[in-house]
Amino acid sequence: MNVRPITVGYDGSDGARAALGWALDEAARTGAQVSLLFAFEWPAVASTVAPLATTWPDQGVRDDAQKMLDAAILDAFQTHPQVLVTRTVADGPAALLLRERSRQAGLLVLGSRGHGGFTGLLLGSTSVAVTAHAHCPVVVVRGERERPDGPVVVGVDGSECAQLALEYAFAQAAAHGAELRVVRAYQPAGPGGQPAGSGPDEQAGAERAELDEVLADGRSRYPQVQVAVDVVPGPAGRVMVDASREARLVVVGSRGRGGFGGLLLGSISQQLLHHAHCPVAVIRELPTTTD
């Protein structure tokens, strides 16, 4: 079976190095190759590898970028000698290059902060473009410390993308021997919106019953995975950020409904990408493997 490569957006920043470390660990587990991508998004690149100039980067500037990538590959060999790491220096907008790479990649891995060709990558429109349109999972590496014993947390709202996120989360939990924590955020109905005889407990119970149906297939396919279900009242962004505090990974679909409506297209996405306490996996499509 051929395993699709893992592409890392790399610019030499601390965030990029953290992303590479995460990707190397994943590649060591799956047998995937890691591909480093540096984007020359002129003129942003000038501040990191050369003084600001009025012309397109010359070969010397490109050589500096390649040397930076070669140094990263050497460091990777010291810690993960079994993982093949390659590098590419390309011209163009980072978001577009990453989206194109996602067609053949099994995973995109990005740092939460960068510079150079990846300036603002996860702080504005570029993050939305990558996460909303990538053809494979995108992992944004966040968090001050690793939590290898933490659960995999997934936000589920019944949407198609959330179902894909759940599938990815089950696989990650099984691969790492981790607990899977399934979270649903909901807005409590006001007094006028509740049927007679119902209340917060009944509403939470109905949400939990629906989740049990959604989880049935995953539980049968991954019987070794311990599953915890949390039905939490409140805004989805806050609920997911709170859930990420002790997680090893939080997984969400690129689009949702209900408690996760517009999750990666507006303010909730900014909350998660700016404030999550662990790496965030955003799922729009799942790649296929070939024999």
- My answer on whether 103 and 157 are in the same domain is no
Of 141, 168, 203, which one is at a domain's C-terminal end?
141
Say if 192 falls within a structural domain: yes
Backbone angles phi, psi at 97, to 5 degrees: -60, -40
Alpha-carbon gap, residue 247 to 151, rounded angstroms: 5
- My answer on whether 98 and 196 are in the same domain is no
- My answer on whether 91 and 195 are in the same domain is no
Q: What is the DSSP letter of 147?
A: -
Alpha-carbon gap, residue 50 to 66, rounded angstroms: 13
Say if 117 falls within a structural domain: yes
Long-range CB contact pairs, 82-85, < 8 A, 24+:
82/28, 83/24, 83/27, 83/28, 83/32, 83/33, 83/34, 84/33, 84/34, 85/24, 85/33, 85/34, 85/35, 85/36
- My answer on whether 68 and 186 are in the same domain is no
User: What pLDDT score does 264 carry?
Assistant: 43
Extended beta strands in the chain, E state? 6-9, 34-40, 85-91, 107-111, 138-141, 152-155, 180-186, 227-233, 249-253, 280-283
The region that residue 36 occupies, defined by phi over 0 for left and psi between -120 and 50 for alpha, beta otherwise, is beta
Domain that residue 74 falls in: 6-141
Of 111, 141, 171, which one is at a domain's C-terminal end?
141
User: What pLDDT score does 192 carry?
Assistant: 53
- My answer on whether 86 and 167 are in the same domain is no
Say if 286 falls within a structural domain: no
Say if 65 falls within a structural domain: yes
Say if 68 falls within a structural domain: yes
Give the domain CATH number at 239.
Answer: 3.40.50.12370
- My answer on whether 116 and 169 are in the same domain is no
User: What pLDDT score does 206 carry?
Assistant: 87
- My answer on whether 10 and 134 are in the same domain is yes
Say if 290 falls within a structural domain: no
User: What pLDDT score does 205 carry?
Assistant: 86
Say if 291 falls within a structural domain: no
- My answer on whether 78 and 194 are in the same domain is no
Give the domain CATH number at 68.
Answer: 3.40.50.620
- For the chain of 291 residues, list the mean pLDDT of each consecutive stretch of 10: 89 90 96 94 53 59 90 98 96 89 94 57 56 88 85 89 92 97 85 54 85 94 97 91 95 66 51 85 79 51
Do residues 28 and 80 touch, judged by C-beta distance below 8 A? Answer: yes
User: What pLDDT score does 258 carry?
Assistant: 46
User: What pLDDT score does 196 carry?
Assistant: 45
Of 141, 162, 177, which one is at a domain's C-terminal end?
141
- My answer on whether 241 and 117 are in the same domain is no
pTM of the complete model: 0.85
Say if 163 falls within a structural domain: yes
Give the CA angle between residues 157, 162, 168 to the nearest 5°: 140
- My answer on whether 246 and 167 are in the same domain is yes
User: What pLDDT score does 111 carry?
Assistant: 85
- My answer on whether 10 and 126 are in the same domain is yes
User: What pLDDT score does 18 carry?
Assistant: 92
- My answer on whether 10 and 133 are in the same domain is yes
For the chain, what is the domain count? 2
Dihedral angle over CA of 80, 224, 4, 30, nearest 10: 20
User: What pLDDT score does 66 carry?
Assistant: 92
